[in-house]
Amino acid sequence: MSRHSGLAERVGTPLYVYDLDRLEAARRDLFAALPDGFDVFYALKANPHPEIARALREGDGPACRAEVSSAGELSAALEAGFPADECLYTGPGKTGPELRGAIARGVRLFSVESLGDLRHIGAAATAAKVVTRCLLRINSAHAEATSSIRMTGVPTQFGIDAETLPDVLPRLREVAGTRIVGAHFFPLSNAADEDSLIAAFENTLAVAAGLRRDHGLPLELLDIGGGFAVPYGTPGRRAAYPKLKSALRDALDRHFPDPTDRPRLACESGRYLVGDSGSLHCSVVNIKESRGRTFVILDAGINTFGGMSGLGRLLPVAVEPQSQDGDDPAGPPRPAAQTASLVGPLCTPGDVLGRRVELPDLAEGDLVTVPNAGAYGPTASLLGFLGRPAPAEALVRGEELVSLTRLEQRRVDESGPL
């Protein structure tokens, strides 16, 4: 049984449980791995629950800032208490209405993906009679990390190709309602190891320093991106980065040797901050055999833990080893008794959470736990498919239940003449 099995039995499943103590430990660990003076933007796309975001802003130690990419995420950030003028608004498809709304609510810092994107920001700012601060997102020509999810060095909707910046920078500087104050990089996601992460960050610092030196790119603020890793939906621990702080200090000394002329540094993280704080508890609905294969059917599927499933999410999800000693997490794990596919309740063969998963001996009604499920959970899933209710989300601190919520979808009837 898992630590939160009693809560799952009381509330029902599927149930996400987010442990605020783990959340705050991740924040402490990330700030401790970085040189002093770094800003950390929390990417709300990983988990926009306002209480999750609030916990990353409050409490002991340095506070995170918010990175948002939609009006909904901005609302969650503001509800969590983040000042609007300290939020970073990102994304390649910012529309006129959302830009006007964000500026009206006080957002002044934007990441820019292209000249057209900057012009849209400028038009909204000019209409509001304000000037926005803008970071140019740079798509570097080369990517250092080859074993992680590459986010740069390839044709993409994200960022301005670095080789084109000398030609486009004069036009970028001329856009009314905007002031270029720095650069934004995001070279990789979920780095395979610490060396990959360090190589990516060192390359980013070198590219940024070269663009400033050779082409006059303003660098008041430099966001070097993320890539901090944590397992997703499988047992394991958050990555540790014992070499990162000294490696970044050395790279800054090489590329920005004058501390008085050094940009303010920032990075961003979503999954690392929240991933291991969450667990998904679900119930076994049925177990069946089909042509020599076993299928364990759960009440949670890709509508509950889709995690970018429609975008080719990597399988398999695995369950947390169950203890033989009740709720004692130190008890010996129950050995695997079978290999089966974990599938959900939806009427589609695509509703598969994991294939060839090693499982204990399970029966109908048993609870199983998917660990490291704090990032890319309900809001990254197919919540509306087949009209099933969203899973409940519980926040706990120690043995205290802090809040219990559930997302709801509602149709808005605005019938009338066209």
Domain final position from 234, 269, 304: 269
Query: Is the domain of 55 the same as that of 182?
Result: yes
pLDDT at site 338 = 86
pLDDT at site 63 = 96
Instruction: Provide the token pair at 195.
Output: 């060396």
Query: Is the domain of 294 the same as that of 373?
Result: yes
Domain residue limits at 161: 33-269
Instruction: Provide the token pair at 116.
Output: 């057209």
Query: Is the domain of 251 the same as that of 303?
Result: no
Query: Is the domain of 103 the same as that of 87?
Result: yes
- pLDDT tens digits, the chain, 418 residues: what are they? 567 889 999 999 999 999 999 999 999 999 999 999 999 999 999 999 999 999 999 988 899 999 999 999 999 999 999 999 999 999 999 999 999 999 999 999 999 999 999 999 999 999 999 999 999 999 876 655 444 444 454 556 767 888 889 999 999 999 999 999 999 998 888 898 999 999 999 999 999 999 999 999 999 999 999 999 999 898 999 999 999 999 999 999 999 999 999 999 999 999 999 999 999 999 999 999 999 999 999 999 999 998 654 444 545 677 776 544 444 444 455 566 889 999 999 999 889 888 888 898 899 999 999 999 999 999 989 888 888 999 999 999 999 999 999 998 888 787 778 7
284 and 296 in contact (C-beta within 8 Å)? yes
Domain membership of residue 411 (yes or no) is no
Query: Is the domain of 246 the same as that of 394?
Result: no
Domain membership of residue 110 (yes or no) is yes
123 and 97 in contact (C-beta within 8 Å)? no
298 and 285 in contact (C-beta within 8 Å)? yes
CATH number, domain containing residue 70: 3.20.20.10
Domain membership of residue 10 (yes or no) is no
Query: Is the domain of 228 the same as that of 113?
Result: yes
Query: Is the domain of 360 the same as that of 231?
Result: no
152 and 196 in contact (C-beta within 8 Å)? no
**pTM metric for this prediction:** 0.92
CATH number, domain containing residue 342: 2.40.37.10
Query: Is the domain of 49 the same as that of 89?
Result: yes
H-run or E-run covering 73: helix 71-79
- What is the distance between the alpha carbons of residues 90 and 107, in angstroms, rounded to a whole number? 11
Query: Is the domain of 128 the same as that of 220?
Result: yes
- What is the distance between the alpha carbons of residues 56 and 63, in angstroms, rounded to a whole number? 6
352 and 295 in contact (C-beta within 8 Å)? no
SS3 of 122, please? helix
Total structural domains within the chain: 2
Packing angle of the helix pair 165-173, 115-128 (nearest 10 deg): 10
H-run or E-run covering 28: helix 20-32
Domain final position from 248, 269, 290: 269
Name every residue whose Cβ is closer than 8 Å to that of residue 144 and which is 6 or more positions away in sequence.
Answer: 187, 196, 199, 200, 202, 203
43 and 270 in contact (C-beta within 8 Å)? yes
Domain final position from 223, 240, 269: 269
pLDDT at site 4 = 86
Domain membership of residue 377 (yes or no) is yes
